[in-house]
Amino acid sequence: MQTDSSFTFVLFGGTGDLSMRKILPALFEAHRAGGMLHDSGKIVAVARHAADRGEYLQWVNEHVKPHVSKNGVDEAAWTSFLARIEFVKIDLGNPEDFVHLRDAIQDLPGIRVFYLATGPSLFVPICHALASVGLNENARIVLEKPLGYDLKSSNAINDAVGEIFAEEQIYRIDHYLGKEPVQNLLALRFGNALFEPLWRREWVESIQITIAEELGVEARGDFYDNTGALRDMVQNHLLQLLSIVAMEPPHSMDSDSVRDEKLRVLRALKPIDPNEIGKVAVRGQYHAGGIRGTAVPGYATEAGVKPDSTTETFVALKVEIENWRWSGVPFFLRTGKRLADRVAEIVVNFRPVPHSALGASALRAGANRLVIRLQPNETIRLYCLAKQPGEGMNLASVHLDLAFDKFFREGQMEAYQRLLLDVIRGRLALFVRRDEQEAAWRWVEPILNEWKTSTRPPKPYAAGTWGPAAASAMLAQHGTCWLEEEN
C-alpha cells in the first residue's frame, strides 16, 4: 500500500526501550517494504542521552538492529533508513529547549506526528511545551499507555491534552488492536455469512481472553508496584479485545463507526457489585518458582518492589455484557506475569449440539470452538469434530487452519507498523477514543477500590504455573475450564 502523505515523525523518548524494540523497527520495516513511507518523510528523535546525530545513530545501530528483519538486515535499506533520521537534544523538563525542536522541524514538509514514548507524567508538560512554540497545529499526537492511574487522573490528563489538541488529533495507542488476527476477526465476522449468525448467546457458551507472560517485572519493579495487572493490562488491552469480540456490526469501517460500537459494549458491561468482587475477580501474586527449568524469584523480592507489597501480578475476571446479543454468556478475562507460557489468545466456545446420534463426545463442551492466537505466533483455528478412520463412529477433534501465508504473498504486518502508518495517514479506527477510555476506567474502579482497602492479600501462585487455583475454580463453577487445562 503506497502513500502520498509526507510527514515529520517526532519521537520523544528516542533512546528508550519502546523506541528501540518497537517503534523504530516498525518504521524501518515500512521503509524497507518500499512505497509505504513518503520519500520526503523524516524521523526526528528527541532525547537527552546522546550528544549529537552521529552518537544517536550509533545508538540506533547497536540497539535497533537486533529487533529488525528476522531474516537479516538489508544493509542498503538500513543505510537509506538512517538517512531519514535527525536528532534533537532536549531536556523535556525545560520548556525553553523546545525552541530547538521548532527550529529543527519548522521547514520540514507534511503532517507532524508527535509520538510520546515517555512516562505519562511527561504527557502534559510536553503538550504545553509544544503549544508554547506553536507546534500543536497541523499535528497529531500519539499517547502510550498507561494514561492515568484511575478515572480521575485519566480525565485530568485528557482534559489537559484536550486543551491543546483536538480529539481528532489524539491517537491513544493500544498495540493489540493492530495485530493481524484481531483485524481478521473483524473480517471473519463481518465479511462471511458463516460466522455472524453464530456470534450470539444462542450458539456461544463462553468466551475466554488471555494475555499471559513468562516474564516478571524485570527492571520495572518500582513502576509495576504502583500499577498492578488490573491497570497495566485489563483496563486497556483486555477490555479493548473484549469490545472487538462483542461489538455489533458497524455500518462502515470508518473511525467513529467502529469506535461507537466498541463504546456500546463497554457501556453494556454489567457493573461490578463491590460485595460480589470475590466471586467474579481473582487477584494473585507470584512467588518463587521455575520458568522452563530456570529458578526465578518471587515478586516481593524483585528490585524496586516493597517486601510487603499487595500489588497483583495476576487477574482473572468473569465479565457479563447486558445486551440482547450476549446476555447470559460469561466472558472470562485473564492476565498475569511469570505464568507457564507467553500467549495471547481469544477462545470462543460454541455450544454443543442439542442432541447427538453420534455419541457423548459430540455433546461435550469445547467440541466446537474458534481460537484466535495473537502471540507468540498469530493464527486462527476452527476446531470441530470428525470421524476417526476405521471401524465404528468414533469422533475426534480436528482443526482448520487459516494459513494466511499460503494464500497471500505479503508477510503479516506487525502491530506497531500498521498503527504507525495509520497515524501518518490519519486513520483513527484502531485507536482508543476518550469516551471508550472513560467507560473502561469507570467499570474497573470498583475492583481497584475494593483491592486497595482489602485486608486479604493476593492469592499466591508459583512462578511457572497458570496462576492461583481460584481462577480455575471460578470457571469450574460454570462447567468449563481454561483451554490449557482441557488439553
Q: Which residues are annotated as a binding site?
A: 48, 91-92, 145, 175, 179, 213, 232, 337
Helix (H, G, I), strand (E, B) or coil at 142: strand
Helix (H, G, I), strand (E, B) or coil at 208: strand
- Residue 241, Cβ neighbours under 10 Å: how many? 25
Residue with cell 480525565: 155
- Rounded distance between C-alpha atoms, residue 120 and residue 111, angstroms: 24
DSSP state of 234: I
- Rounded distance between C-alpha atoms, residue 10 and residue 31, angstroms: 16
Of 439, 449, 486, the residue nearest 466 (C-alpha): 486
The letter for the amino acid at 46 is: V
The cell for 11 is 519521537
- Residue 95, Cβ neighbours under 10 Å: how many? 17
Q: Are strands 111-116 and 139-143 parallel, antiparallel or unpaired?
A: parallel
Helix (H, G, I), strand (E, B) or coil at 357: coil
The cell for 368 is 466446537
Positive/negative CA dihedral, 186, 192, 193, 195: negative
From 63, 128, 237, 478, active-site residue: 237
Binding residue numbers for substrate: 175, 179, 213, 232, 337
The letter for the amino acid at 43 is: I
Of 266, 426, 396, 286, the residue nearest 331 (C-alpha): 266
Opening angle at CA 13, ends 60 and 438, nearest 5: 135
Cα 457 → chain centroid: 28
The cell for 174 is 493500544
- Rounded distance between C-alpha atoms, residue 13 and residue 17, angstroms: 9
The letter for the amino acid at 412 is: Q
DSSP strands (E only) in 275-327: 281-287, 289-291, 294-296, 314-319
Positive/negative CA dihedral, 255, 258, 264, 265: negative
- Residue 395, Cβ neighbours under 10 Å: how many? 19
- Rounded distance between C-alpha atoms, residue 90 and residue 56, angstroms: 13
Contact between 330 and 320 under an 8 Å Cβ cutoff? The reply is yes
Of 445, 413, 415, 442, the residue nearest 431 (C-alpha): 415
Q: Is 31 a catalytic residue?
A: no
Q: What are phi and psi of 259, to 5 degrees?
A: -70, -30
Alpha helices by DSSP H, 248-333 = 255-268, 277-280
The Cα diameter of the chain in Å comes to: 82
Catalytic residue ranges: 237
